[in-house]
Amino acid sequence: MDMTGKTVMITGASRGIGAEAARVFAGAGANVALLARGQEAIADLAGEIGDRALAVPCNVSRYTEVAAAVNAVREAFGGLDVLINNAGAIEPIARMDEADPDGWAQVIDINLKGVFFGMRAALPVMKAAGGGSILTVSSGAAHGPVEAWSHYCASKAGVAMLTRCLDKEEAENGIRAIGLSPGTVATQMQREIKASGINPVSKLEWSDHIPADWPAKALLWMCGPEADDWCGQEISLRDEEIRKKVGLV
């Protein structure tokens, strides 16, 4: 898919799915804005990609920082066509009777409030331009309980509903809201899950996880008209038909 002249803002771009998405979208010709708390990592990635990349240090759990990032992207590239809400956390992994309340709440701040903040900041810019795509990385955990992941499951369930709400409110204004459930991906988050030793997901072998460029390529495909049937819904990379459509083997 040709993204020449389009601008994409990616949260959690310092590693994993976010970093791979930056490479994939840049390879398709897009301007890419890299948002993350890890300033050095996104600066290095922007240097790797070149002039069409902008590194913007940002904590998505703070709306003022997200809004400032959107303004910086608009000033640098003239607009915003795609927002990828990718930033997410799962630590501290703990059963509810042992969970640290502050740590639990911080995951909600990043995973749920951070997604809403991205949507809220991007919407005025996109609507003024006639539309845009807001893609959010979801999870199978949005739809079923997982031991010691109460914060993660609750936040991802909330994100799935945010996507549905956004579609209901803004589809008529040209906003395409779609979620992506990638399955288990070979990223740092899976290392954290493995180290916890809690629940069946932590018992998976590294070879069971898909590479991070698979969801990155799926996100690119989701920007095209073929994905319009999933607006307001969630696309699962566990679906073999979806993998074929994206071109994954």
Active site residues: 138, 152, 156
Number of H helices, E strands in the chain: 9, 7
- Candidates 203, 201, 160; CA nearest to 184 is 201
- Looking up tokens 């390879």 gives 27
What is the rounded CA–CA span in Å between residue 118 and residue 235? 20
Q: Are 51 and 75 in contact (CB under 8 A)?
A: no
Q: Are 225 and 205 in contact (CB under 8 A)?
A: no
Structure tokens belonging to residue 39: 């300033």
Q: Are 83 and 132 in contact (CB under 8 A)?
A: yes
- What residue spans of 87-199 are helical by DSSP H? 101-108, 114-128, 150-170, 188-196
For residue 28, report the phi and psi dihedrals to the nearest 5 degrees: -90, 5
What is the rounded CA–CA span in Å between residue 84 and residue 45? 17
**92 upstream amide cis, omega within 30 of 0:** yes
Q: Are 89 and 106 in contact (CB under 8 A)?
A: yes
What is the rounded CA–CA span in Å between residue 77 and residue 25? 15
